[in-house]
Structure 1
Amino acid sequence: MARRKSTTGARARQGNAAGIGAAPPSPYLQRRLAFFDPLDDATLAQLEAQVDWLMQDIGIAFRDDPKALEVWRKAGARIDGDRVRMEAAQVRALCKTAPRQFTQIARNRTRDVVIGGGNQVFAPIYGAPFVRDLQQGRRYGDLDSLEKLIKLTYMLPNLHHGGLVICEPCDVPVSKRHLDMLYLHMTCSDKPHLGAITEQSRAQDSVDMAEIIFGREVMDQNCVIMGNVNTNSPLLVDKVVTQAIETYCSRGQGIVVVPFILSGAMGPVSTAASVT
């Protein structure tokens, strides 16, 4: 009886060539459904009128960063101490200079994401101080936990972006923590991710590390890393935010700017006022 030839080895080689064992593709999503708008035109107009009033008459404090105040002054804002006020039409004109969408490229170019427009990019949570698992229960985050979470994010096709602080590695000194976090994102995943923002030198380290990965020429022409900063309520932006913005934007990189408002604690109780 003729011996049957085994195909196990051939199949294994084909599987490796096909990338079996690597993370599955994770394309960002493009919206097909229409946006749901709970506001009628009159309510929207009322909200925008309140926004205009805040910008023109109340203003926002930009604290401890004279360079940021000078940027606003050159843009046509009125400066009173650290309080910045600007005509709503001027602010809206500045907003129009931002692109409607842009691409953040990844180390693996099949995992590039388009930010903005009708695209939706999912990322893990940001800034959790604690982690929990079945073996060790709830505890402060550490570097080992962060590494595992980054690898899980890499393997999950429905997470398109790595974020940064999936958990806070509290076992590493703050002065060097950002370096360890970025190194893990850059070596344990090939999805796009964020950089540090908690101090200007840490933001600069993030940009410099990204340049090592992608090279100056690629970085000069593309967004390869982004920072995530928050305004403080009520109506305050401190130098940590403005200096991080300066660092990322001076290298042509992306910046996420969102208000961090807890209704009833750091902002108004009503939803409409918090949205404003």
Structure 2
Amino acid sequence: MSRDNRPQRGQRGVQGLKQLPWREVRNPYPPVAVLSADHIETIHHASLRILEEIGMRILDRTARDIWASAGATVDQTSMMVRFDRGLIEQTVALAPAEFTLHARNPARNVTVGGNRILFSSVGGPPYCSDLDRGRRSGTYSEMCDFIRIVQSLNIIHQEGGGPFEPMDLPADTRYLDMYYAEITLLDKTWKPSALGHDRAADAIDMACIALGTDRVGLAARPALTATINTNSPLQLDVPMAEGLIEMARARQPVVVTPFTLSGAMCPATIAGALVQQNAEALATIALTQLV
């Protein structure tokens, strides 16, 4: 169809979006074996050697104290923590193989683990964009429209955490408005910010209100998951450690994502980058199980 023959946007009839019903998606195929079992084992043991001999710099005192109580070697002056490989492996093994996130609408609960595939919306873009007005800084009203789209699409199982920032709201409190919009405009699960204690704690308290429960009930039926970034190379900063600890204390799962860019914050080689990335992930995942 030529551009001239296409119906104009204003002339189009109002029609419902044709889409498949909401459902759990599973991958029937095994993971692609990029590395052999021997290669994976080599990377894993190299990561454990890094954690034993070099360690990880953990800037938050509470997190260091947790590790000290667990038996790690902690230098409070340099803030370096060194880990016995047995401690890391035993602690990481405590993490569950799967868990369920509970939505405001029970039909929208999602289970993470196994061969399940979850699709979520984007998290963290600095701008919004559409065909009519192009790219620009977002407003609260536009952010709400974005969340409404997330709600309307059955293929999106979960809000992805931090849609574009509503720049018309104060920077220090806008996260509360974002939480409110996600709670009131979605019946799906949503991801809060865990950048510091307050943002994580406020999300937990607001989720309790929305679900008609308290922190004990939320711990039994988790609803939130947040992303925790390491500050590569081999460092966990204060805001991320605070957010991790607050989420873990409330028994809400976190996603640990080392921020490794080859040649910048980690070795340029793929093998070296994987070893460092895995070391950071192992130490941070283990911390969640010690809280």
Category of TM-score, reference length = shorter chain = 0.7 to 0.9
Deviating more after overlay: 43-52 vs 232-241 = 43-52
Give the structure 1 partner of residue 116 of structure 2.
Answer: 119
Structure number, greater radius of gyration: 1
**Does 1:107 find its partner at 2:124?**
no
> Is the 8 Å Cα contact of residues 226 and 254 (structure 1) preserved in structure 2?
yes
**TM score, norm. by length of structure 1:** 0.87
Secondary structure of the 2:242 match is: helix
Letter in 1 for 2:154: P
Give the structure 1 partner of residue 65 of structure 2.
Answer: 70
Task: Report the count of equivalent residues.
Answer: 255
Task: For 1:192 and 1:270, locate their aligned partners in 2 and report how far apart those are by CA, in whole Å.
Answer: 38
Letter in 2 for 1:83: M
Q: What is the deviation of 1:60?
A: 0.5
Give the structure 2 partner of residue 235 of structure 1.
Answer: 234
Give the structure 2 partner of residue 61 of structure 1.
Answer: 57
**Does 1:31 find its partner at 2:27?**
yes
Letter in 2 for 1:68: A
Q: What is the deviation of 1:223?
A: 0.6
CA RMSD of superposed structures (Å) = 1.8
Give the structure 2 partner of residue 179 of structure 1.
Answer: 176
Deviations 1:168-218 (A, max 9, x none): 222221211111111111111111011121221121111110110111263
Secondary structure of the 1:242 match is: helix
Letter in 2 for 1:188: L
**TM score, norm. by length of structure 2:** 0.83
Which of 133, 142, 147 aligns to 1:145? It is 142
> Is the 8 Å Cα contact of residues 79 and 85 (structure 1) preserved in structure 2?
yes
Deviations 1:194-250 (A, max 9, x none): 112122112111111011011126314111112211001111101111111111111
Task: For 2:180 and 2:20, locate their aligned partners in 1 and report how far apart those are by CA, in whole Å.
Answer: 22
Task: For 1:197 and 1:171, locate their aligned partners in 2 and report how far apart those are by CA, in whole Å.
Answer: 22
Give the structure 2 partner of residue 42 of structure 1.
Answer: 38
Q: Which has the higher contact order (CA 8 A, sep 6+)?
A: 2
> Is the 8 Å Cα contact of residues 101 and 116 (structure 1) preserved in structure 2?
yes
Deviating more after overlay: 213-222 vs 153-162 = 213-222
Give the structure 1 partner of residue 249 of structure 2.
Answer: 250
Q: What is the deviation of 1:156?
A: 1.2
Deviations 1:255-276 (A, max 9, x none): 1111122222322222222222
Give the direction of change, closer, same or farther, for the CA distance of 1:275–1:171 in structure 2 (3 Å limit): farther
Task: For 2:70 and 2:255, locate their aligned partners in 1 and report how far apart those are by CA, in whole Å.
Answer: 21
Secondary structure of the 1:73 match is: helix
Give the structure 1 partner of residue 222 of structure 2.
Answer: 223
Q: What is the deviation of 1:24?
A: 6.9
Task: For 1:28 and 1:259, locate their aligned partners in 2 and report how far apart those are by CA, in whole Å.
Answer: 28
